[in-house]
Amino acid sequence: MSSFLRLFVYGSLKVGECNDFMLRHWVERWEEAEIRGEMRLRPDHYPALFLPIHGRLGTGDYDSDLELQAAPECSDGHPIRGQLLYLRDGTTALPILDRFEGFFPGSRSEYLRVAVSVVTESGPVACWTYTGVGRPVEEWPRLEEWPPPGLVMKPEPYEHGL
């Protein structure tokens, strides 16, 4: 059974961004990756990724979730650049990251953890990512990258807006 977690991050959890403290001690390695979809800037200044398709929803069975072998690749939407992180001790990291992202398997959640395939230099890789719930909110500005130019975020305790 694998204890490694493959996680695509596109916002504050990217290595070097304001919330990387949440996972930096688990990062074994990372590489540039891309997915297609739509990224919007939420009113709290964090990004939300919306995907036209994704694979299964994450569960509370973290050991099973770490066995992810395949997931669909999005072909619609804008290219969203991020990082594919390879995290050790995934059974410990995943529930902590789920709580941080406001994903509560089987309950109302602020973000969802979904299975996707991202494109890396060596080809597609099945992984998990956190997405917005539902459809993109039209009032939220579309983002090409995160952080957007001029936005400076500092890590601080985050209160979920549920």
- pLDDT, tens only, 10-43: 999 999 998 999 999 999 999 999 999 999 999 9
Q: What phi and psi, each to the nearest 5 degrees, are found at residue 55?
A: -85, -150
pLDDT of residue 147: 87
Confidence of residue 2 (pLDDT cuts 50, 70, 90): low
In a domain, 160, yes or no: no
Count of domains observed in the chain: 1
What is the pLDDT, as a whole number, of residue 95?
A: 96
pLDDT of 153 > 80? The answer is no
Torsion sign (Cα): 71, 63, 30, 93? positive
Sign of CA dihedral 77, 82, 88, 94: negative
What's the pLDDT tens digit per position in 52-105?
A: 999 999 999 999 999 999 999 988 999 999 999 999 999 999 999 999 999 999
Q: Is the residue at 71 inside a domain?
A: yes
Residue (of 56, 59, 37, 32) closest to 47 by Cα position: 37
pLDDT band at 144 (very low <50, low <70, confident <90, very high): confident
Whether residue 149 lies inside any domain: the answer is no
Which residue segment(s) compose the domain that 59 sits in?
5-134
33 burial via Cβ count (<10 Å: 0-12, 13-18, 19+): buried
Domain containing residue 78: CATH number: 3.10.490.10
**Residue 142 domain-assigned?**
no
State yes or no: pLDDT of 162 exceeds 70.
Answer: no
Residue 120: inside a domain: yes
161, part of any domain: no
CA 11 – CA 39 distance, rounded (Å)? 10
